[in-house]
Amino acid sequence: MPRGKVRATTPIENEALRIVRPSKLAAGVKGVTTSFRHTLAQSGIKGTIQTMRSVNRFDGFDCPGCAWPDPDDHRSGFEFCENGAKAFAAESTSRRVTADFFSTYSVSSLSEQGDMWMDKQGRLTQPMYLAEGDEHYQAITWESAFALISERIRATDPEKVALYTSGRASNEAAFLWGTLARQIGTNNLPDCSNMCHESSGVALNTSIGIGKGTVKLEDFDYADLVLVVGQNPGTNHPRMLSALARCKRKGGSVISINPLEETGMKRFKHPQEMLRMLGTGTTIADDHVPVRINGDSALFKGIAKHLIENNAVDSSFIDRHTVGFDNFVSNLTDVHWSDIERVSGLTEERIREIARIIAQSKRMVICWAMGITQHRNSVQTIHDIVNVLLLGGHFGRKGAGACPVRGHSNVQGDRTVGINHHPSESFLAALDAATGIKSPRDRGVDSVQLIQRSLEDKFDVLLCLGGNLLSAMSDTEVTAQALNRIGLTVQISTKLNRSHVVTGKEALILPCLGRTEEDTGQTGNRFVTVENSMGVVHSSRGTIKPASNQLMSEPDIVAHIGNALFGSSPIQWLNLAEDYDRIRSLIEDVIPGFDDYNARVRQDGGFYLPNGPRDGPIWNTPNSKAVMHSHPLDSFEVEDGYTMMTIRSHDQYNTTIYGMDDRYRGIKNARRIVFMNPEDMEKDGIISQQEVNLISIHNGIERRADQWKVIPYSIPKGNIATYFPEANVLIPLESVAIGSNTPTSKSVHVRIEA
């Protein structure tokens, strides 16, 4: 019997949209008071003080907000930012979702509620089971839940099982998770980075031989130039602004390359210095370059042309360390300035002006995030960025390098410890030797492939370690249909979200401890470890009383599933999870760079993982040199309609909506809005706040989303912006980046219907 109608998207709110003056100053007085209001409202004053004291201290927990590192030398205990505070507040809320809640609300009635409402219901407190055809989740014991999962997995083939990971999982949980998948017999490990920095991983691996960035936090003190490309740090990595401000104080320059001039890049006040009321803050960006959406490849090609024409390249570095230079040069001669100008939306003179600044730089860092990784040609664009760094020899040098700024606080660590759908032979061989299992060698599915194959009934069981796959993935309605076809979906979660209502035929919710909470196993107070965006592995120890006495830690949950499936041979699952030092010893045996893991991670601040291009430079590529890739200029311009990017507001954490405002962009009470250039509005006869429908077009198929309000905004002509996840219904599942298969969330071809 099918369930009642379940909505896959948040209902259209009839909100009272107001356009106000955007905050010009990031993380100033307002930021701090706002953050306190958030924690206070949700966890009460005692909770607030306790939480704030433990943030990012050596003996406290790692901020669940983002992957930006803390200063090596001092973790003051008050290293926090407004949005980090919102992330704690959301986790340390005093509200609870109990079994009664689920008997009040059926899944279909829950689905009629908004995304923000769902998160605000509080912490999940006990395991819940949704039987096939049922309308209500009902309580289930942990034991029965594990038995059910094991039964369903045993009843199917290993390739019909997938294990999704969201990037908050610790190294310990993620390592067990990957190992569990391989003991089951699959590399089906789709993860949030497939939708995030996968393009960076692919592009960096194939050019510099490591899928990560090559800078340390201290490099920002030495850099004479930092480019911030396709990234909005004021909202998504606020603590990065301190590093940029320090760079500037030491004489460095910062250039922001972005279709939008984001707050924070304009002016910033360090929250820790805040109470001293220092002036009006530091101006961060010395220059703002309003590139068109997906115009970055053209821009960096133009920069490279200028550098080569003017012989402003480090020839000895290029000779010693790279291959592909000659080919790159001849390829660039076929790229014409007229095309570069059209695609980037910038004049030749403007691009040469930026190139002249780059030519002067001895120590340049280039940072980027989702504005670069979520396009058709993202891998190529990142190759273009790396080429500009290679031309100037900006590797293996203090104050220089590539800096893909990671999102989720441990997304980088999860990949390092084996969350990978195409693991290397050396990793699998080491895992087999250390554990006694026989890992499969076949490539597994990524997130997009998981959805595509579920539509063809190729999946029976999907286990999710955190996250909200339904809302994070592109093509929401199609994704929902795919998930509905899976036999059993299991969500290991802290908070309620739409993936708990749009499920497989049967579903389980397994509530787990959050990062901030005390983890008292049989061996006493346990801690986990994480890796930040700069390759530092450090500890994170929760300090707050758990939200419910029925919660289990993530490693414990994974181990119990392993134990239910396989008992204790060859992996002693329960024994392993009892004491996380044992998991870490196993990681040390399997993954290079974790020597003396248990000892070194107990040092204040942890330790750096080795990084060839940074430490050498040494290149772990086929011919031991960095590769300069040459690609033709792909433009993916749209002839009719607009190129739409889907971005984050200041009041959300991915699919978790904290509030309906976007203070830095001057928006109150609305999320279904379209930022549009005033000249485009005039051309289309659209007035401010007019309601329009959005229609995306891909391979002749139309997808619609109705009732969006238009906001005039400073954005390049032909470009529009909307918020994720509301706009995900418009992103076709098949529209992905070449080479990384990442949904093209930042370039969606859209028509506007007035």
Number of residues that bind ligand MGD (CB under 6 A): 59
CA distance 116 to 495: 11
Q: Are strands 536-540 and 607-608 parallel, antiparallel or unpaired?
A: antiparallel
Where does residue 617 rank: exposed (0-12), middle (13-18), buried (19+ CB within 10 A)?
buried
Nearest distance in Å: CB 188, ligand MGD = 16
Of the candidates 98, 171, 179, 656, which one interacts with ligand MGD according to CB under 6 A? Answer: 656
Of the candidates 344, 655, 696, 740, which one interacts with ligand MGD according to CB under 6 A? Answer: 655
Reduced to 3 states, what is the DSSP secondary structure of residue 451? helix
Taking the least distance from each CB to ligand MGD, the nearer of 186 and 722 is 722
Of the candidates 55, 128, 181, 196, which one interacts with Mo ion according to CB under 5 A? Answer: 196
Nearest distance in Å: CB 515, ligand MGD = 5
- Which DSSP string corresponds to 51-91? HHHHBT-TTSBPPSS--PPPPSS---S----HHHHHHHHHH
Residue 713-742 contact track with ligand MGD, rule CB under 6 A, x = bound? -----------x---x--x-----------
Please provide residue 198's backbone torsions phi and psi, each rounded to the nearest 5 degrees. -55, -40
Nearest distance in Å: CB 481, ligand MGD = 18
* Binding of ligand MGD by 262 (CB under 6 A): yes
Q: Are strands 25-26 and 18-19 parallel, antiparallel or unpaired?
A: unpaired
Residue 365-404 contact track with Mo ion, rule CB under 5 A, x = bound? ----------------------------------------
Q: Which of residues 123-182 bind ligand MGD (CB under 6 A)?
A: 166-168
Please provide residue 227's backbone torsions phi and psi, each rounded to the nearest 5 degrees. -100, 130
Q: 178, 430 in Cβ contact below 8 A?
A: no
Q: Whose CA is closest to 67, among 226, 165, 193?
A: 193
The residues pairing with 645 across neighbouring beta strands, listed in sequence order, are: 721
Residue 627 interface partner, choices Mo ion, ligand MGD, none, CB cut-off 5-8 Å depending on type: none
Q: Can you list the alpha helix ranges (DSSP code H) found in 551-674?
A: 554-566, 573-578, 580-590, 597-600, 612-615
Reduced to 3 states, what is the DSSP secondary structure of residue 175? helix
* Binding of ligand MGD by 472 (CB under 6 A): yes
Among the candidate windows 567-575, 579-587, 621-629, 648-656, which touches ligand MGD by CB under 6 A? 648-656
Residue nearest to Mo ion (CB): 407
Q: Which of residues 188-247 bind ligand MGD (CB under 6 A)?
A: 192, 195-196, 229-232, 235-237
* Binding of ligand MGD by 571 (CB under 6 A): no
CA dihedral 680, 682, 685, 688 (to 10 degrees): 90
Of the candidates 648, 663, 703, 709, which one interacts with ligand MGD according to CB under 6 A? Answer: 648
* Binding of ligand MGD by 652 (CB under 6 A): yes
Q: 188, 458 in Cβ contact below 8 A?
A: no
Tokens 């407004």 -> residue: 82
Sign of CA dihedral 373, 377, 383, 387: negative
Residue 645 interface partner, choices Mo ion, ligand MGD, none, CB cut-off 5-8 Å depending on type: ligand MGD
Among the candidate windows 42-50, 293-301, 343-351, 732-740, which touches ligand MGD by CB under 6 A? 293-301
The Cα-based distances of 193 to 342, 391, 469, 717 in angstroms read: 31, 29, 12, 30
Q: Whose CA is closest to 450, among 440, 442, 458?
A: 458
Of the candidates 31, 201, 281, 407, which one interacts with Mo ion according to CB under 5 A? Answer: 407
Q: Which of residues 410-469 bind ligand MGD (CB under 6 A)?
A: 465-469
Q: N- to C-terminal Cα distance for the chain?
A: 41
Among the candidate windows 252-260, 320-328, 585-593, 600-608, which touches ligand MGD by CB under 6 A? 252-260
Nearest distance in Å: CB 623, ligand MGD = 32
* Binding of ligand MGD by 646 (CB under 6 A): yes
Of the candidates 187, 449, 494, 503, which one interacts with ligand MGD according to CB under 6 A? Answer: 494
The Cα-based distances of 410 to 6, 268, 306 in angstroms read: 32, 26, 38
Residue 66 interface partner, choices Mo ion, ligand MGD, none, CB cut-off 5-8 Å depending on type: ligand MGD
Q: 84, 63 in Cβ contact below 8 A?
A: yes
Number of residues that bind Mo ion (CB under 5 A): 2
Q: Which of residues 587-616 bind Mo ion (CB under 5 A)?
A: none
Please provide residue 299's backbone torsions phi and psi, each rounded to the nearest 5 degrees. -60, -50
Among the candidate windows 31-39, 143-151, 494-502, 526-534, which touches ligand MGD by CB under 6 A? 494-502
Of the candidates 125, 258, 282, 361, which one interacts with ligand MGD according to CB under 6 A? Answer: 258
Nearest distance in Å: CB 414, Mo ion = 12
The Cα-based distances of 557 to 27, 103, 514, 585 in angstroms read: 38, 25, 13, 19
* Binding of ligand MGD by 39 (CB under 6 A): no
Taking the least distance from each CB to Mo ion, the nearer of 252 and 407 is 407
What does the binding site for Mo ion look like in residue numbers (CB under 5 A)?
196, 407
What does the binding site for ligand MGD look like in residue numbers (CB under 6 A)?
65-66, 83, 166-168, 192, 195-196, 229-232, 235-237, 257-260, 262, 291, 293-294, 296, 369-371, 407-408, 465-469, 472, 492-495, 497, 512, 514-515, 554, 645-648, 652-656, 724, 728, 731, 745-746
